[in-house]
């Protein structure tokens, strides 16, 4: 009986030590765009790593509207149509969640949170979410596309 308890205790201790040894880091990249239609757009992507492998990815699409050019119902309609496009693309996957929020009277955001480590290779390819492992490679890829990045 003592040997069974010792084995169980050893397994629990090893599991705890392994889970505590996860090295986490993140990459935050953003790009600003202004359009002639009175909308300022900002895309922000956060890539979280666990032991140098991509674990989670969050996209935030921030829209800031010129209130002199848009009525509130137009702003809500535009934001909802963008969210619906994201839902059409990603909405069927339980490892991807989509939300939107109002951040003041002229600013809205749409967030797409991806539990990347739980996606299959086929799902990653289907959604265009094939990130390379290694934070430096991801950073250089984003910066080549015009993003500004910080490693955290």
**101 backbone dihedrals φ, ψ, rounded to 5°:** -150, 160
How far is it between the farthest Cα atoms of the chain?
77
> Whole-prediction pTM value?
0.77
Does residue 13 lie within any of the structural domains? Answer: no
Task: Judge whether 96 and 115 are in contact, CB under 8 Å.
Answer: yes
Does residue 81 lie within any of the structural domains? Answer: yes
pLDDT category at 37 given cuts 50, 70, 90 is confident
Sheet containing 39-50: give its strands across. 96-102, 107-114, 53-65, 39-50, 24-34, 148-151
- pLDDT tens digit sequence for 42-95: 999 999 999 888 999 999 999 888 888 888 888 888 889 989 998 998 878 999
Does residue 85 lie within any of the structural domains? Answer: yes
Does residue 12 lie within any of the structural domains? Answer: no
| CATH code for the domain in which residue 60 is found | 3.30.1830.10
- pLDDT of residue 10 exceeding 80, the answer is no
- pLDDT tens digit sequence for 15-24: 444 445 568 8
Does residue 33 lie within any of the structural domains? Answer: yes
Please give the residue range of the domain that contains residue 141.
22-151
For residue 23, the model assigns a pLDDT of 86
- pLDDT of residue 103 exceeding 80, the answer is yes
Does residue 7 lie within any of the structural domains? Answer: no
pLDDT category at 9 given cuts 50, 70, 90 is very low
Can you tell me the distance from the alpha carbon of 26 to that of 127, in angstroms, rounded to the nearest whole number? 21
Poorest-pLDDT segment among 44-48, 94-98, 117-121, 130-134: 130-134
Does residue 5 lie within any of the structural domains? Answer: no
- pLDDT tens digit sequence for 136-148: 888 999 999 999 9
- Number of domains the chain is built from: 1
Can you tell me the distance from the alpha carbon of 81 to that of 40, in angstroms, rounded to the nearest whole number? 17
Does residue 76 lie within any of the structural domains? Answer: yes
Task: Judge whether 28 and 44 are in contact, CB under 8 Å.
Answer: yes
């Amino acid at each position: 009986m003592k040997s069974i308890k010792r084995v169980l205790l050893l397994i629990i201790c090893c599991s705890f030590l392994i889970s505590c040894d996860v090295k986490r880091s993140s990459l935050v990249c953003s790009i600003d765009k202004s359009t002639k239609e009175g909308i300022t757009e900002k895309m922000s992507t956060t890539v979280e790593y666990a032991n140098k492998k991509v674990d989670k990815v969050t996209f935030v699409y921030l829209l800031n509207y010129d209130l002199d050019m848009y009525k509130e119902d137009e702003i809500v309609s535009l934001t909802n149509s963008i969210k619906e496009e994201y839902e059409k693309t990603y909405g069927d996957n339980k490892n991807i969640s989509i939300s939107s929020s109002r951040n003041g009277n002229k600013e809205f955001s749409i967030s797409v949170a991806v539990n990347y480590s739980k996606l299959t290779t086929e799902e990653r390819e289907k959604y265009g979410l094939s990130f390379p492992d290694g934070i430096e490679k991801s950073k250089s890829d984003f910066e080549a596309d015009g993003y500004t990045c910080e490693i955290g």
